C-alpha cells in the first residue's frame, strides 16, 4: 500500500474540505469531553498541506468559540442519529453535504447502511481519502437533483442529517427539497442546524461578499418554527433544541464561563437550533 500523501493546493475544492477536517481534529483536542473524532486525525495523516495559517489562529478566543460551536453541532447530530438507530437498528443514515465528515460512520450501528452525498468533485476526493466500507455508498450529486432519492434504501427506516449545509441554500430550494423528502420517505427523519436571519447574515458575510450577493433574505433561516418551516410541511412534526445548550450544559473544564455566556446568547438571541423533522407515515 502506498504511503504517498495527497497534496492539497490553496484555493481548490480540496482545500475547502481540509479546513473543516482540521477543525474537527482540533475540536477533539480542546473539547474532548464533548467531541471526539479519531477519523479526522487519521485522514489528516494522509494529507500534504500547509496548516500553519490555521495553527497560528487556533488560540484566538473567537476561533476557539467557533470550534466549540462545531463540536456542539456534531455532537448534537450524533446524539440524534444514535437515538434514531436505537429504535431502527438497521436504518439508513444519510449525510447530506458530507464533505470529509464521518459523523454517520462514527454513530452507526453494525446493521446500518450509510450514504454520503455531495458534489461529484467532493465525492472523488472522499473516495480517495476515505474508501467506502461495504455498508457505505458515496453519491456524487447536487442535493437539489432529487434523483439521488432512488439510491436510498429506507426499508428499515432512514435518518438524514446536514451539518452547516442549508445556510447556503435559498429558502425556495429548501422548501422544495424538504417537501419532496417528506413525500418520498414517510416515517423518515431529518435533522440539521439552523439559526435566525441575523445570525445567518453574520455567518455568510464573507461568502456573500465574494459571491456578489445583495439580498441575504432569500437564503434559508429560521426565525420561528411554525411560520418558517411547519407552515409548508403540514404532514410532518417539527421540533427543535438549542444548538449550544440544548443537549449539554457545557459545564466542563475546557469551556469557560464566558463561552457559556456566548452559548446562551447563541441559543437565545441568534436562535441557533438543531431542528428535527419527522416525516409522517401515509
pLDDT along the chain (282 residues), means of 10: 76 86 91 91 89 87 91 96 98 98 95 98 94 97 97 98 93 96 97 92 65 70 91 92 96 95 95 96 65
pLDDT score recorded for residue 212: 57
pTM beyond cutoff 0.85: yes
Q: How far apart, in whole angstroms, are the C-alpha atoms of residue 12 and residue 19?
A: 11
Query: What confidence tens digit (pLDDT) does each residue in 174-199 have?
Result: 999 999 999 999 999 999 999 999 88
Q: How far apart, in whole angstroms, are the C-alpha atoms of residue 118 and residue 138?
A: 8
Q: Where are the alpha helices (DSSP H) in the chain?
A: 13-30, 38-44, 52-57, 61-87, 103-107, 120-129, 171-184, 197-203, 205-211, 225-228, 257-268
Helix (H, G, I), strand (E, B) or coil at 191: strand
Picking from 93, 83, 73, 97, the residue whose alpha carbon sits closest to that of residue 24 is: 73
pLDDT score recorded for residue 1: 42
Tell which CATH classification among 3.30.950.10, 1.25.40.10, 3.40.50.150, 3.40.50.720 matches the domain 6-279: 3.40.50.150
pLDDT score recorded for residue 206: 59
pLDDT score recorded for residue 174: 96
* Chain-centroid distance, C-alpha 24: 12
Amino acid at each position: 500500500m502506498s504511503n504517498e500523501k495527497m497534496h492539497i493546493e490553496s484555493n481548490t475544492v480540496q482545500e475547502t474540505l481540509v479546513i473543516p477536517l482540521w477543525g474537527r481534529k482540533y475540536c477533539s483536542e480542546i473539547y474532548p469531553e464533548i467531541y471526539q473524532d479519531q477519523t479526522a486525525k487519521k485522514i489528516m495523516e494522509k494529507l500534504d498541506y500547509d496548516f500553519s495559517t490555521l495553527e497560528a489562529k487556533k488560540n484566538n478566543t473567537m476561533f476557539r468559540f467557533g470550534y466549540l460551536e462545531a463540536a456542539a453541532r456534531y455532537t448534537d447530530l450524533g446524539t440524534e442519529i444514535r437515538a434514531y438507530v436505537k429504535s431502527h437498528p438497521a436504518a439508513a443514515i444519510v449525510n447530506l453535504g458530507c464533505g470529509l465528515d464521518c459523523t454517520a460512520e462514527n454513530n452507526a450501528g453494525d446493521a446500518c447502511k450509510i450514504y454520503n452525498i455531495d458534489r461529484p468533485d467532493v465525492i472523488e476526493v472522499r473516495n480517495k481519502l476515505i474508501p467506502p466500507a461495504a455498508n457505505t455508498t458515496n453519491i456524487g450529486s447536487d442535493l437539489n437533483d432529487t434523483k439521488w432519492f432512488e439510491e436510498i434504501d429506507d426499508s428499515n427506516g432512514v435518518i438524514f442529517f446536514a451539518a452547516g449545509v442549508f445556510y447556503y441554500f435559498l429558502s425556495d430550494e429548501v422548501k422544495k427539497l424538504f417537501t419532496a423528502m417528506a413525500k418520498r420517505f414517510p416515517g423518515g427523519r431529518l435533522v440539521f442546524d439552523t439559526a435566525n436571519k441575523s445570525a445567518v447574515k453574520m455567518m455568510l458575510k464573507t461568502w456573500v461578499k465574494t459571491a456578489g450577493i445583495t439580498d441575504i433574505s432569500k437564503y434559508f433561516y429560521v426565525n420561528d418554527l411554525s411560520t418558517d418551516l411547519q407552515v409548508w410541511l403540514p404532514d410532518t412534526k417539527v421540533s427543535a433544541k438549542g444548538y449550544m445548550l440544548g443537549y449539554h450544559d457545557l459545564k466542563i473544564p475546557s469551556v469557560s464561563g464566558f463561552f457559556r455566556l456566548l452559548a446562551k446568547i447563541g441559543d437565545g438571541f441568534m436562535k441557533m437550533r438543531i431542528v428535527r423533522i419527522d416525516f409522517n407515515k401515509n
